[in-house]
Structure 1
Amino acid sequence: MIQNPGFLLTVVAFVAVIGPLVFVHELGHYLVGRWCGVKAEAFSIGFGPEIAAWTDRRGTRWRLGALPLGGYVRFKGDMNAASQADPRWLEMPAAERAESFPAKPLWQRAAIVAAGPAINFLFAILILAAFAFVHGESRTPAVAGQVQPGSAAAAAGIVAGDRIVSLNGREMATFDDIRLFAQIRPGEPVTILIDRQGRLFEKQGRVGAVEEDDGFGNKFRIGRLGIAPGEPVIEPVSLIRAPVVAIERTGQIIRTMVETLGQIVGGGRSVKELGGPLKIAEVSGQAATLGVESFVFFMALISINLGFINLLPIPMLDGGHLLFYGVEAIQRRPVSPQVQEWAYRSGLAVLLAMMVLVTFNDLSSFGLWDRLSGLIG
């Protein structure tokens, strides 16, 4: 078993992941806001009491909060860090009102809000493009080089040399596509279309389920078909193609996240699989022990997660603001303050409930409740 990182490395690694990603996210809002002529009154990394702060010549207060679990940019005309419009913005002098966020056209407000998640995706794409350029792209054919006896593939009648054309109707272009499809569907039924020496066959099977250890003592139930690839094919990636490969990989990661979230909502997966800040901190430390490349790749994954989560249509998040702007575009007038207030309160309740849930899951994964029950018993 790989040695777990100590507490200090875990904390340092967590801050080294979350701090830059939150800064990048908020920088997206800030830069597009400036481009649209909106004054930023505060740019904060973290919440709570100020550890350090300064005010620049434009009047923006740059602050570092004691709780490094997020951040915000408060624009002129915002009532709070969640960017709710302050009703008093209409009472401002004309010059000040012109540089306030609520005064801007709908498309500019939407662009400012969307810039945060967008720059998180861009940050991840740059990292993944660099990895693709350095390491190349896996293009191993979706062909069963070997079939494990007693596996799900063997039970479905797949033999060595069969090319997997599709799984549940989804095209399998490479062997990585098979792996990504199967690993999040342990125990699920699957329709397998295979090409055997030029003839197409449809097989019915069920994805196998195995429990794996990540080397740090964490066990995961993942799906496996039980086939191994043939000779690996790694194609070099040019500097021009690298961003294309990175965008494709980002799309695959987002699709996997959407499908996994759908499984949790639909009851196919347990909500216990949701992790929060404590779990991110733990994995940050683990990634740091595996080297710089693993740590940077982990940052790319968290950046994609941060962008995706912020686009969820929950008030208080960027996606909730964009939802309001969509409604405003359709009905040609802003959502009423009363509805917004109700929505923000509901969104806050949802976020707090989610934080409690994921924190409970994190503590459970650390074995805290078992140890407490042992002490009580």
Structure 2
Amino acid sequence: MDWISITFWLIGTLIVVLGPLILIHELGHYVFAKLAGVRVEEFGFGFPPRLFKLWYGKGYLEIGSTRVIIPPSLRRPSGLEVGAWVDAITQKQDDGSYLLRRLTVLDPATDDLTLKRELVDDGVRMRGEVTLLEPGTLYSLNWLPLGAFVRMTGEDDPSDPRSLAAQPKRWRVAILAAGAVLNIIVAILLSISVYTSGSPEKWAMMRRWP
């Protein structure tokens, strides 16, 4: 076996063995971060550089004082941030909430920044400043196929109430430990599965082996 074959064999082994371990580990962080109310900005399959964005989780924004739900299927335009002016087409739901259908980020230099709310053919048009933004978790696919990663808000900055650093100590410990704990749980479950699915005769022979 030449060195090229050995190199590809080692890379393949790393991907097959370490990939699932890292993915499970990061899932532990992700699940507990969600339970604690920490903002998860991105969950990436593989490691950067990013190949493409898969989808967003459900989010919301506030235009002035009106909250508008951002559905997972809606593409987030560049420049969408708190303080930006937007022109939005929304649809009022039966429960009184507004669901975003289309969104355009306005350019202060060229676009009209007059506050506006009016009925249009396909819903309610709103124009105004974004005062609050929760875009939802970005799920991405990345070039290096080795596990996954979780990007949370504010690991060292407690100024944001939804940052990791702003959570009580018990939640921070739980989030950080969840990855290793989930790895251990999965290892135990796999061991039990392998043991119970094996041939009883073979296990009996192994136990009698001196």
Could you tell me the TM-score, scaled by structure 2's length? 0.50
Q: SS where residue 98 of structure 1 aligns?
A: coil
Q: Which residue of 2 aligns with 1:60?
A: 137
Q: Which residue of 1 aligns with 2:167?
A: 104
Question: What is the distance in 1 between the residues matched to 2:149 and 2:193?
Answer: 29
Q: SS where residue 141 of structure 2 aligns?
A: strand
Question: What is the distance in 2 between the residues matched to 1:131 and 1:57?
Answer: 38
Given that residues 30 and 150 in structure 2 are in contact (C-alpha distance below 8 angstroms), is that contact kept between their aligned partners in structure 1? yes
Residue 61 of structure 1: how far off its partner (Å): 1.4
Given that residues 42 and 139 in structure 2 are in contact (C-alpha distance below 8 angstroms), is that contact kept between their aligned partners in structure 1? yes
Residue 125 of structure 1: how far off its partner (Å): 0.9
Question: What is the distance in 1 between the residues matched to 2:209 and 2:45?
Answer: 44
Given that residues 48 and 65 in structure 1 are in contact (C-alpha distance below 8 angstroms), is that contact kept between their aligned partners in structure 2? yes
Residue 101 of structure 1: how far off its partner (Å): 1.1
Q: Deviations over 1:288-331 (max 9, x none)?
A: xxxxxxxxxxxxxxxxxxxxxxxxxxxxxxxxxxxxxxxxxxxx
- Which structure: greater strand fraction? 2
Q: Which residue of 1 aligns with 2:106?
A: none
1:232 aligns with 2:209: yes
Residue 134 of structure 1: how far off its partner (Å): 2.0
Unaligned runs of 5+ in 2: 60-135
Q: Which residue of 2 aligns with 1:15?
A: 15
Q: Deviations over 1:15-39 (max 9, x none)?
A: 2333322221111001011111111
Compared with structure 1, are the counterparts of its residues 69 and 19 closer, same or farther at alpha carbon in structure 2 (3 Å cutoff)?
Answer: closer
Question: What is the distance in 1 between the residues matched to 2:146 and 2:15?
Answer: 9
Letter in 1 for 2:58: R
Q: Which residue of 2 aligns with 1:45?
A: 45
Q: Which residue of 1 aligns with 2:184?
A: 121
Residue 50 of structure 1: how far off its partner (Å): 0.5
Q: Which residue of 1 aligns with 2:30?
A: 30
Given that residues 19 and 45 in structure 1 are in contact (C-alpha distance below 8 angstroms), is that contact kept between their aligned partners in structure 2? no
Given that residues 38 and 75 in structure 1 are in contact (C-alpha distance below 8 angstroms), is that contact kept between their aligned partners in structure 2? yes
Q: Deviations over 1:126-163 (max 9, x none)?
A: 110011112359688xxxxxxxxxxxxxxxxxxxxxxx
CA-atom RMSD in angstroms: 3.1
Q: Deviations over 1:45-64 (max 9, x none)?
A: 33331123232224111223
Question: What is the distance in 2 between the residues matched to 1:52 and 1:13?
Answer: 25
Residue 74 of structure 1: how far off its partner (Å): 1.5
Q: Deviations over 1:199-237 (max 9, x none)?
A: xxxxxxxxxxxxxxxxxxxxxxxxxxxxxxxx439xxxx
Compared with structure 1, are the counterparts of its residues 64 and 17 closer, same or farther at alpha carbon in structure 2 (3 Å cutoff)?
Answer: farther
Question: What is the distance in 1 between the residues matched to 2:18 and 2:138?
Answer: 21
Letter in 2 for 1:63: S
Given that residues 26 and 73 in structure 1 are in contact (C-alpha distance below 8 angstroms), is that contact kept between their aligned partners in structure 2? yes
Residue 117 of structure 1: how far off its partner (Å): 0.5
Letter in 2 for 1:56: G
Given that residues 57 and 137 in structure 2 are in contact (C-alpha distance below 8 angstroms), is that contact kept between their aligned partners in structure 1? yes
Residue 8 of structure 1: how far off its partner (Å): 6.0
Letter in 1 for 2:190: I
Compared with structure 1, are the counterparts of its residues 139 and 13 closer, same or farther at alpha carbon in structure 2 (3 Å cutoff)?
Answer: same
Q: Which residue of 2 aligns with 1:256?
A: none
Letter in 1 for 2:29: H
- Which structure: greater helix fraction? 1
Residue 11 of structure 1: how far off its partner (Å): 4.6
Residue 105 of structure 1: how far off its partner (Å): 0.6
Question: What is the distance in 2 between the residues matched to 1:52 and 1:123?
Answer: 29
Q: SS where residue 44 of structure 1 aligns?
A: strand
Q: Which residue of 1 aligns with 2:153?
A: 76
Q: Which residue of 2 aligns with 1:159?
A: none
Residue 109 of structure 1: how far off its partner (Å): 0.4
> Once structures 1 and 2 are overlaid, which stretch shifts more, 100-109 or 58-67?
58-67
Q: Which residue of 2 aligns with 1:276?
A: none
- Of structures 1 and 2, the one with the larger relative CO (CA 8 A, separation 6+) is 2
1:134 aligns with 2:197: yes
Q: SS where residue 42 of structure 1 aligns?
A: strand
Identity of aligned residues (%): 32
Residue 9 of structure 1: how far off its partner (Å): 6.4
Given that residues 21 and 147 in structure 2 are in contact (C-alpha distance below 8 angstroms), is that contact kept between their aligned partners in structure 1? no
Compared with structure 1, are the counterparts of its residues 139 and 108 closer, same or farther at alpha carbon in structure 2 (3 Å cutoff)?
Answer: farther
